Structure 1
């Protein structure tokens, strides 16, 4: 990295599953201080979500570290000169050309590709062609070539670009091109040529997922599957998960040159020979002695150690006698996106799918380790109880329902959690937290005191796992949980009366499972801890059609609060007078909640010039000249100018605490924003709770859940829960505030009215902080 640059640069190499606009080949960056701060929180980077900013955007994206690869600043500038993301990724992987271009200097003799012909010339210019906004940390780097000899007059320029003279040459003798169209006339004048590998399996034939044979020496021939292909020092290597190690024991992992690798005849049928009628999907759990089935969390042993994932497919393939399992691994240690030999068996992000024998899978041991770690705290009776529970088939640790599974698992009548006897507050809360989200899964697996373990087991084994695996939970299981809570003495009416979701959540999180408080609020230097936050507003607010962002900012402003740290899960209660009286006719959901300005510590950005802010002015909070609401931060220069105005001379800005040594990171583009993602909304109308779930990145990825949508029979009947897709929500969210204000609630399509008009509680998650808490 350039010593004068404080950013780290990356190129996206795999398609992110959460951002459809970020494609492989996109360049991004992160300030080094930010990178180091994130890295301090974890010892492994395989599943690390890095908050990066894509070039051409001011928004930060949380990308998996395994989905990006580092590039130098010079390489980033060269790659940025290419027009398309796919082209950029191609030339990034074409290491020779890119590395050579880094060393090209002025007056170097080169060949330039123009119209399919190679023209000879000299480099007369290296740099940017146009000025970019100051928010861009780098500019695209191009080469200006003066054509020589017989190729004079074959260019389009005389050294000018957009009327700017970048170098001087005769008419039609100049040309500006990206590095991909330039190569040195004398290659070894820059660096030794990179030798091409001589391989038994040429690189264009060897692919990830191929079964291969490799020859370590004359006495040892190994077999395995190609897990990855990579270039190092001009030679291509294959990373192979072997069937057996060099001693003939359990399989390991080796990295060998492709020159000693040969394809073997694959035992699986090729796609064109595969009979889809014989592709039998087997979902019964009796195929595994421990009851593992689809959606079970498991671990398998690979060459580099244990890998963890979720079973997404179980079945048979032609010419294979044993039952196979398709795993979606937690890290990028797989070989595909759910396809095998061209046939799709399930869907997952690229590089995460792996197909193994079902019998090689075993239950995820990470959720059993807590029993061993705390054995001294558990009585022999409790251990016996847990062993009985495990032997009874309660080993499944089921992952949340993914976006592509929602329609298959969740949508329909008799789906979700069945309501019974005023249970809707608990049904809606549990469904919102656990159906499609894992931010509070630690509640399900953390160590608990023996007296509270039955409650945790009921929540995990009787409610959450069936919800995620089958999409339906009978009302008797929720009643069992309510009875357990009542027997613990927290309320004598848990089994009969309707309660508020926050009361139930506080009992579960604080009193039963002793979860660390989700919120740490700073008030006058003192830190207060909480699990939910109730929004209160003063009487002088001017909000008419507020967003959740505005409500939160106003509430913090009125109460003099700040966040001591970014929460992993933020549960917000909307401003109401009881259950029936709403303060606003409509509230606009904020799909992202930017909490950067709400933090009590950490760098802030001057809202005018973009440099590091030194002061905050609470008196400017409602000054509509800058923005209708929101906390106002200024650098010293801007603060001085702003408060010269007669109407602001009485303001009293307060200094911000700036971390030592941060000044050099003061440019606008270096400040990443801390944002939370909306994943659920609980609503109430006429004392009945329902919930909306944002299950995917698309604007229409919304579902609506009602535990008592219908009823069959009278006194001796039962409630019918229902989950339905509600893509109409996305239509209204795409409207401008003016359009939305003009919508008559009773005329809004589908169930959208309930989201905008009846919101009671918003649930947000931090996709990065939930990895550490």
Structure 2
């Protein structure tokens, strides 16, 4: 009876590792048989010992200390291995929001693909390896594009002479996870027949919903009157609220920019510089919401009588360290994340580690 093959454990190298005149960069993925890892006591205090790992990219084996590595799941290792260069791979691991979102994607999900300067709508038709490797094969997303695109790298669902999915000529593309983002679609009409191979509608808004969005620090409110597919996103059609002096013409706003009115918090949820609250007004609850809700400070203008909005200059206190300064570029809700989030483009940030998306 043949001996059972040992499971392989995967790690990502956190620091550059020089050997003679060669440097193996941080972000390289290393592999080691689980039996060797356990046998040599790589956990606990024994983790200071050097163990021999195989560096997947370089196809060499080196002795490395455990504290220079961070363990990955098999799924994480496959997704990260498809990304290059190593520096970008490490950044995606440290700022793990995209990596977490990628693990939630499945076949037939509607997505957008970032390809050079374009954002192309498509549908996931394949998730898996396209190049076989003895050590670790990268996990790619095979996308059927829903628009005609004159770009390089297009195919009919095949790679290296092997077909992985079927689509019309020059409408398929294989990309790593950091090039793919979930895309919302308008919900199907009630009673409409559903094709399991087609993306399912999943827009969180319906006609009649009261919504709001921010434009140049102004809160705009209205009622949803329709929803349409805008290609890269869903366009929400809404009528502005006439009681607020808004124009009556219907507007179209990208889904990512809109929030339901009943999810808005009243003025005062975010503390401006120098403001304080009285006991019992909910500050304790706000302090559990995260760094953006705790410490947004308006720029040079006086505090407005509404929430901070897109284009507001803010400061963010992160983990009791030096504050980071940035500009709000987006306000809304993220899949799988409770509460309303602000997307901030940092102008200055602490230098203790790579920047992270804040929510």
How high is the TM-score relative to the length of structure 1?
0.23
How high is the TM-score relative to the length of structure 2?
0.48
Flag the structure with larger Rg: 1
As a proportion of its length, which structure holds more strand? Answer: 2
As a proportion of its length, which structure holds more helix? Answer: 1
